[in-house]
A and B are shown apart, each in its own frame.
Chain A
Amino acid sequence: GQNIDQPTEMTATEGAIVQINCTYQTSGFNGLFWYQQHAGEAPTFLSYNVLDGLEEKGRFSSFLSRSKGYSYLLLKELQMKDSASYLCAVKDSNYQLIWGAGTKLIIKP
């Protein structure tokens, strides 16, 4: 079967750095997405990786290793507004999106 694994919950301190991991086992690979979802709201797109390596976008970076079936989202200089769930999703060989259950990130002052 197809599977996306992410930690259920993480806690970090304002101003610090946090890394949210995502491992996947899918039938084929056509890209990996990270979305941010604040409580009670819709997900919003953060990043996309299709080739190995690091994609940087301001305070957020996303890394991909296709050979390891692994990605992480790195958040720097954490702010209280970064408290949210972070969803990892992989597009499989049929171009269908497989979603992880999300990682709830709690930021403490």
Chain B
Amino acid sequence: SQTIHQWPATLVQPVGSPLSLECTVEGTSNPNLYWYRQAAGRGLQLLFYSVGIGQISSEVPQNLSASRPQDRQFILSSKKLLLSDSGFYLCAWSVLWEGASGANVLTFGAGSRLTVL
């Protein structure tokens, strides 16, 4: 079966410090991978998505970056965090869901709650 792991679950970082969030997927090959951010009272915001190793598309210009060094590994990074980077970060992968008329359904990791002080 397919599983998605995301870590760390929570972290508190000072402004200006670096960030690294990691996500790995098991049980599938060449998944589409996504990084989302969720702020309180707002919809999920797509940050990055990847359709393959080394292929990253950025949806929102900001001080975050993403990398996909291996097929099933997706990393979200920052060199210098800002206060506005605080939020709930979610990694996801998509799969064609049988019984959903061929829709690509997102499966999310458990999330990483980042507080920047």
Complex Cα gap A102–B42 (Å): 8
Residue of A nearest to B88 (CB): A40
- A33–B42 touching, CB < 8 Å: no
B interface secondary structure, majority: loop
Give how many B residues have a beta carbon under 8 Å from the other chain's beta carbons: 19
Known: A96-B46, A101-B41. A31 touches B111 (CB 8 A): no
- A48–B105 touching, CB < 8 Å: yes
Complex Cα gap A40–B42 (Å): 15
Complex Cα gap A33–B105 (Å): 8
- A45–B43 touching, CB < 8 Å: no
> CB-CB < 8 A to B44: which residues of A?
43, 87, 89, 97, 99
Contact of B97 among A44, A48, A51 (CB under 8 A): A48
Contact of A45 among B90, B107, B110 (CB under 8 A): B107
Residue of B nearest to A31 (CB): B103
- A98–B106 touching, CB < 8 Å: no
- A50–B43 touching, CB < 8 Å: no
> CB-CB < 8 A to B113: which residues of A?
40
> CB-CB < 8 A to B110: which residues of A?
41-42
Confirm or deny: B101 has a beta carbon within 8 angstroms of a beta carbon on chain A: yes
Confirm or deny: B7 has a beta carbon within 8 angstroms of a beta carbon on chain A: no
Sample (6) of A-B pairs whose CB atoms are under 8 Å apart: A31-B101, A43-B108, A50-B103, A89-B44, A91-B103, A99-B45
